[in-house]
Amino acid sequence: MTGAIGIGAGVIGTAVTNRNPILRWSYFTEQTESIVEALVQHLQLTLSAVGIGLIISGALAAIAMKYQWTVGPITGTTAFLYTIPSVAFFGVLVPYTGNSAITAIIPLVCFTLLILVTNILDGFRAVPVAVKDAADGMGLGTSRRVLTVELPIAMPYIINGLRIATVTTVGLVTVAAIIGYGGLGRLILDGLRRAFWTPLTIGAGLSILLALLLDLMFYWLGNAVTPWTRRKRT
């Protein structure tokens, strides 16, 4: 009798596993539109957050470089924002901005600031003093010196900051699913809620793939805008 019960339990377990596999390929054809929509939203949120973060970080870094006493307050504030748990950040904003894209974007932008500001500052600090003096000796104004001499030298640091911020943001976007704007995170959350592994697998897999592709894109961008560093590596 015990053996029969054991065999029966094994058959039921196998049937349950077959009904709810890790990946059901028919789900792709049935839910293609929702998967593409989630992927596009994930990409939009990621690029928007990193783009806005880069603009704000560039302005903050410029202030910090011009007024050295602001370096501490700026990096301290961005570090504080980075330490706020993402779920708590979204929760604090919901009463004011609702379940909207703005609620998702604000924390995502804030989480990029520390990474981007520090990398921009490190990049410009890496410019040798002799190079700056040579540029001044050639009669270059401050703006022209920054754009044509200092920025190219700082660019590898900025690109590295963009790569780190982008990959980090791809992961954080999934958390925004709790307010309905998580892109692929909505598939992950749906899979967890229903114990349905296929959307969870698709959401997680595409998130990883998206992070890898965006990182590779910025790597290629870095090689394109700083060819001298590529030659140095080879």
What is the structure's pLDDT at 231? Answer: 56
What is the structure's pLDDT at 229? Answer: 67
What is the structure's pLDDT at 1? Answer: 42
Domain residues for 131? Answer: 58-226
What is the domain count for the chain? 1
What is the structure's pLDDT at 52? Answer: 96
Please report whether residue 103 resides in a domain: yes
Please report whether residue 92 resides in a domain: yes
Please report whether residue 29 resides in a domain: no
Q: pLDDT tens-digit profile of 81-138?
A: 999 998 889 888 988 888 888 999 999 999 999 999 999 999 988 888 787 778 767 7
What is the structure's pLDDT at 10? Answer: 43
Please report whether residue 6 resides in a domain: no
Phi-psi region of 85 (alpha: psi -120 to 50; beta: other; left: phi over 0): beta
Please report whether residue 170 resides in a domain: yes
Please state, in angstroms and rounded to a whole number, the distance separating the CA atoms of residues 77 and 206. 33
> What CATH number did the domain enclosing 141 receive?
1.10.3720.10
Q: In the numeric block, which tokens belong to residue 109?
A: 């932008």
Q: Which residues of the chain have pLDDT under 70?
A: 1-18, 21, 23-24, 136, 228-234
CA distances 145 to 45, 60, 64, 131, 136, Å, are 34, 19, 18, 10, 8
User: What are the φ/ψ torsions at residue 143 (nearest 5 degrees)?
Assistant: -65, -45
Q: In 3-state terms, what secondary structure has residue 30?
A: helix
Please report whether residue 135 resides in a domain: yes
Please report whether residue 85 resides in a domain: yes
Please report whether residue 38 resides in a domain: no
